[in-house]
């Protein structure tokens, strides 16, 4: 798991730009407030299908990354399966950090 991504997720939480939990995230998607939805890779098949369908219908980008425990720990909570990002700037920053995971690449010898 990308530590830069996790720290940026924690920063977004401290800024009050995240919503967590199935109902809270669904509400943000329906209201057009969610700019990005992050879902744990170990989410159940039912949860995965519901969020994929909802995000596709409303045109919200969905990222599947990390485990429930990693996502929860990064925002200072117990395990979290879904997180909605409410700010466009934070959503863009999180997507970019996942596209370019490391500033320094390891060189194998």
Q: How confident is the model at residue 102 (pLDDT cuts 50, 70, 90)?
A: low
| CB burial string 81-96: b at 16+ within 10 A, e below | bbbbbbbeebbebbbe
**pLDDT tens-digit series, residues 11-43:** 999 999 999 989 999 999 999 999 999 999 999
Residue 80 has a pLDDT of 93
- 44-48 contacts: CB < 8 A, separation 24 or more? 47/22, 47/81, 47/82
Q: How many CB atoms lie within 10 A of CB 97?
A: 19
Gyration radius of the chain over CA positions: 14
The mean pLDDT value of the chain amounts to 89
């Amino acid at each position: 798991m990308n530590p830069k991504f996790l720290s940026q997720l924690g920063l977004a939480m401290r800024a009050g730009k995240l919503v967590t939990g199935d109902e809270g995230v669904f509400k943000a998607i329906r209201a057009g407030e969610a700019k990005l939805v992050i879902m744990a890779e170990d989410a159940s098949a039912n949860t995965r299908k519901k969020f994929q369908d909802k995000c596709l219908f409303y045109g919200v980008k969905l990222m599947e990354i990390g485990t429930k425990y990693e996502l929860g720990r990064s925002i200072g909570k117990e395990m979290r399966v879904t997180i909605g990002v409410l700010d466009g700037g934070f959503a863009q920053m999180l997507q970019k950090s996942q596209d370019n995971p490391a500033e320094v690449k390891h060189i194998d010898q």
